């Protein structure tokens, strides 16, 4: 993955998210979308409406993960660790994250978090995802990825990716993004540090998807920590 990681780190520090264009080929995007209907390879299917999560559906992958997904998870994680640890330091939080994904997953297993969290999501017309955070247990990594497998404007309309940032004692800030097919977005799982007049404070963040007006929208979510269930 030929990426300017220092530039990505600067974006994450400044905004809490970073967009990297054209990382997945059209062929790989289409292969992942076609695999959604496969009867095997997934541990759990969630119908969002049943849980008041929104309107749509997603599936969690089983271990072992598909090779391309496993490679992305292993290769991207070490580049994000310095950002995550810098955030913990400026916020005076005790957590520090290990250099390798395997070491993070060992911490997860010690807290009974054994289940894979990478997932593929599908929305049709009217579909949406309510604002949320992907924590899954006591151990969680503060950054995650989403790959956009469908082309905005042609495969679907609407369906913008939404981030909200809550500033203490103020109204929430909304960030609306429309990445293109094959793009990767890195964003904060739970919170990010923001510099104020008296130092850094913790700004809580959530993410979701606005209503899809037409077509089908697929995304691939890559979360680094494992889940309890």
Domain locations in the chain? 5-222
C-alpha to C-alpha distances, 67 to 74, 125, 148, 149, nearest whole angstrom: 11, 31, 18, 17
Query: 213: how many CB neighbours lie within 10 A of its CB?
Result: 12
* Nearest by Cα to 145 from 215, 86, 69: 69
The whole model's pTM is what? 0.95
In this prediction, residue 181 carries a pLDDT of 98
Q: Is the domain covering 5-222 a CATH 2.60.120.620 domain?
A: yes
Percentage of the chain lying above the pLDDT 70 cut: 100
**Average confidence (pLDDT) over 5-17:** 97
pLDDT for 168 beyond 80 = no
- Grouping H, G, I as helix, E, B as strand and the rest as coil, residue 31 is helix
pLDDT for 197 beyond 90 = no
Q: State the sign of the Cα–Cα–Cα–Cα dihedral 40, 46, 47, 48.
A: negative
Who has greater pLDDT, 51 or 168? 51
């Amino acid at each position: 993955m030929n990426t300017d990681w220092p530039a990505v780190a600067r974006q994450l520090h400044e905004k809490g998210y970073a967009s990297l264009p054209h990382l997945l080929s059209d062929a790989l995007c289409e292969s992942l979308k076609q695999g959604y209907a496969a009867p095997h390879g997934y541990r759990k299917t969630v119908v969002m409406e049943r849980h008041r999560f929104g309107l749509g559906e997603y599936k969690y992958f089983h271990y072992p993960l598909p090779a391309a997904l496993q490679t992305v998870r292993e290769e991207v994680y070490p580049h994000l660790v310095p950002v995550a640890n810098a955030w913990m330091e400026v916020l005076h939080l005790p957590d520090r994250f290990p250099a390798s994904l395997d070491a993070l997953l060992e911490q997860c297993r010690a807290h009974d978090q054994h289940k894979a969290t990478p997932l593929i999501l599908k929305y049709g017309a009217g579909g949406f995802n309510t604002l949320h955070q992907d924590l899954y247990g006591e151990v969680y990594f503060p950054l995650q990825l989403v790959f956009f497998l469908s082309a905005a404007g042609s495969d679907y309309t609407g369906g913008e990716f939404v981030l909200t940032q809550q500033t203490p004692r103020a109204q929430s800030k909304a960030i609306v993004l429309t990445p293109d097919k094959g793009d990767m977005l890195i964003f904060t799982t739970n919170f990010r540090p923001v510099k104020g007049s008296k130092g850094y404070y913790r700004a809580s963040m959530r993410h979701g998807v606005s209503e899809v007006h037409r077509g089908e929208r697929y995304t691939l979510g890559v979360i680094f920590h494992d889940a309890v269930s």
